[in-house]
Amino acid sequence: MKRQKGYWGMEKTRKLFNPFIDEVLLKVSLNELAIMYQKMPTTTILATSFEKTFKLAQLIQNQYYGLNEDDIVSWYLEKLDLCLRTYNGQAQFQTYFATVFRNKLREETEKQNYKKRKCILESINDIMEIGLEDTYNVVDMLLPKNLTSNEHDYCILASQGYDNAYIAQQLDVSRMTISNIRKSLKVKCIDLQD
């Protein structure tokens, strides 16, 4: 699943902060910047901290998909400000910030995935009211046309709630083959995931 493009994004926000970055403060450690920020929170310290944590934040954001870039930047700034205000010196600032930011992105990803699962389950419940045989026709309609017969049969059996061991037995293939079928389906059904 691709990251949803937003209007601002990380790079545009970085450019927005450029005029506020202090070259002298770039030489100061993030630990010291946090102490300075707690005494007097300024845009200059926040902008400089943003610049110093930018690559770290990019590495973290690249681990999460399906989130809007504008939201990511908003959470980045929110958590950076929070970390600067609450840093207590027990760990390196980068470690503290990375943990807080990663937890926020994980939380938001889990919320989004929960909403998707809930929508899917509600849709399945609606389909089940129509009738079980119609459900299989809907699954058939959603599947890409380029599936092998084993991939197609796997999808039908999986939609009926059977586990991989049972499906392997029904298709007369090994569990390793089932694993390969699943990998292939992830690639072929990528459009269904978006």
Q: Each residue of 24-39: pLDDT tens digit?
A: 999 999 999 999 999 9
N- to C-terminal Cα distance for the chain?
6
Q: How confident is the model at residue 119 (pLDDT cuts 50, 70, 90)?
A: low
Tokens 């946090």 sit on residue: 34
Residues with Cβ within 8 Å of residue 1, at least 6 apart in sequence: 65, 66, 193, 194
Task: Please indicate, yes or no, whether the overall pTM of this predicted structure exceeds 0.75.
Answer: no
From CA 4, how far away is CA 32, in angstroms rounded?
35
Q: What angle do CA 130, 131, 137 make, to 5 degrees?
A: 95
Residues with Cβ within 8 Å of residue 82, at least 6 apart in sequence: 100
Q: What's the pLDDT tens digit per position in 150-165?
A: 888 888 888 778 888 8
Average pLDDT over residues 59-71: 84
From CA 164, how far away is CA 122, in angstroms rounded?
24
From CA 28, how far away is CA 52, in angstroms rounded?
10
Q: Which amino acid type is present at position 28?
A: V
Residues with Cβ within 8 Å of residue 81, at least 6 apart in sequence: 41, 46
Q: How confident is the model at residue 136 (pLDDT cuts 50, 70, 90)?
A: low
Average pLDDT over residues 58-83: 88
